[in-house]
Every structure is written in structure tokens, then in C-alpha cells.
Structure 1
Amino acid sequence: MTIEWRYTAEQDLGILSVSGYLGPDAVRRFAGAVGWVVGRGSGPVIVDLTGLRGWSAEGQLAITEAARRLAAAGRSLELAAIPADGSLVPHGDYPPIPVHPDRAGALTAHSTRHGEPVKGRHEWRTTGWRADEPRA
């Protein structure tokens, strides 16, 4: 079992939506998505886990490693809607990872546009991402 992902980059915020199960078989694909994110966009990255069915210890470690990679690139990682079956506790020298209860809460925390239209939006996704999924 693996994951599907979609990355939306706005002018000062990125949203990486992940669906499926983030287990040992999906860690490489997730790391590839994070590599894509590191090279595109700017500002904080919200990892939206609304569509995630669950994660393993390896999946949680992949999240903390993503936070480290993004921090090295001058960006931060935040989580929205973590799976109900666990919490994320970064170990060692990993950067802190803010957790929001849901996607709307994460976006509200970064709301600086006051109703202005979003400029410069770009989106990339895996081919398995359903086209009818809500946009960021």
C-alpha cells in the first residue's frame, strides 16, 4: 500500500496533501514528494493528512525527517489533521512541528491575505490523485 500526494504552492505557503497509508512501503514516495516541495515554492509547508488512513512508526519518522529537510532549506513544516491512531513526537534534534486539528485551522493560522485572491498558485500531483479532490 502506498500514498498519493498533491502539492499546491502559493506565494508564501505550500500545502502537501497526502492520502493513503504512510507505512514502510510509502516512505520513499513521501520522501520524493518532500524533495519536490523543497525545490518549489517558499514559506511554511502544511502537510494535510486529512486523506491519510493511518501511518506507521516509519511513516512518522518520515514526517520528522521531512521537517529536518525543510528546515535545512529555510522552511518549516506543520501538520493538519493527523491520524487519530497516534501523535507525532519528534525525536532528537528535529525542529518542532506545529499540529493543527484540521486543514481549515492550519490555513487560518496563515491567513494574511484578508480575502485577497491568491496570486501565483501552482499545483503538482501524483497521477493517482483523484481529480475531484478539493483544491487547496
Structure 2
Amino acid sequence: MTIEWRYTVEQDLGILSVSGYLGLEAVHRFTGAVGWVVARGTGPVVVDLAELRGWSAEGQLAITEAARRLAAAGRSLELAAIPADGSLVPDGSCPPVPVHSDLASALAEHGLVDRIGEGHQEWRTSGWPT
């Protein structure tokens, strides 16, 4: 099983939405999505996991590796709507990863609630619903 993803740039905030199951088989695709994110946009990145059905230990490690990769690029990673089956427990070498209850609260934290969708750019996998 794999994942689908959509990356949206809203002003100086990136939103990487992920659906499916982030397990060992999907880590490579997630890593590729993070590469796409690093190459486009600026500022923090919120990974929206509202459509994620779950994640494995390998999937959680991919999230912490993404936080490290974004930090190396001068950007931070935040999570929204983590799966109910577990929480992310990064090791001490991982940058802080703020967790929001949902995407709306993450956007509110960045002052984007009323401006969402104004002049944004978007990329997605072919399997992401339009």
C-alpha cells in the first residue's frame, strides 16, 4: 500500500497533505514528496495527516527524517491531525515538531484562516482526488 500526496504553498507556509498508509512501502514516496517540498516554497511546512489511515514505525522515522531535512534547508516541520493509533516520538537529534489537532488550528497559528486559497500554488500525485 502506498500514499498519495498534495503540496500547497500558501504565502510563506507549505502544506503537505498525505493520504493512505505511511508504512515501509510508502516511505520512498513520502521522501520524494519531501524533496518536492524542499525544492519549492519557503517557510514552515505543515504535514496534514487527516487523510492518513495510519503509520508504521518506519513511517514515523520518515517524518522525523523529514523534520531534519527541512531544518537543514532552514525550514521547520509541523504536524496536523496525527493518526489516532500513535504519536510521534522523535529522538533527541530531531528538531522540535509542533503538533496541531487539525489543519485549521495549524493555519490559525500562522494567521492564515481568512486568507487560505488566495493565490496559492499546488502540486499533487495523480491519485490525489481533484
Q: With structure 1 as the length reference, what TM-score do the two structures score?
A: 0.91
Find the residue that maps to 1:32 and give its secondary structure: helix
Give the aligned length.
130
Match in the other structure for 2:52? 52
Q: Which moved more, 1:87-96 or 1:29-38?
A: 87-96
Q: List per-residue Cα deviations over 1:22-50 (Å, max 9, x = no partner).
A: 00000000000000000000000000000
Find the residue that maps to 1:129 and give its secondary structure: coil
> Cα RMSD between the aligned structures?
1.4
Letter of the 2:86 partner, please give it: G
Unaligned runs of 5+ in 2: none
Match in the other structure for 2:81? 81
Structure 1 runs (4+) deviating above 2 angstroms are 113-120
Please identify which structure carries the higher helix content: 2
> 1:114 Cα shift?
7.6
Match in the other structure for 1:134? none
Match in the other structure for 2:128? 129
Separation in structure 1 between the aligned mates of residue 116 and residue 92 of structure 2, nearest angstrom: 40
Unaligned runs of 5+ in 1: 132-136
> 1:117 Cα shift?
7.0
Separation in structure 2 between the aligned mates of residue 18 and residue 32 of structure 1, nearest angstrom: 12
> 1:13 Cα shift?
0.2
> 1:116 Cα shift?
4.9
Q: Which moved more, 1:89-98 or 1:21-30?
A: 89-98
**Residues 55 and 126 from structure 1, CA distance in 2 versus in 1: closer, same or farther, beyond 3 angstroms?**
same
Match in the other structure for 1:36? 36
What is the aligned-residue identity percentage? 75
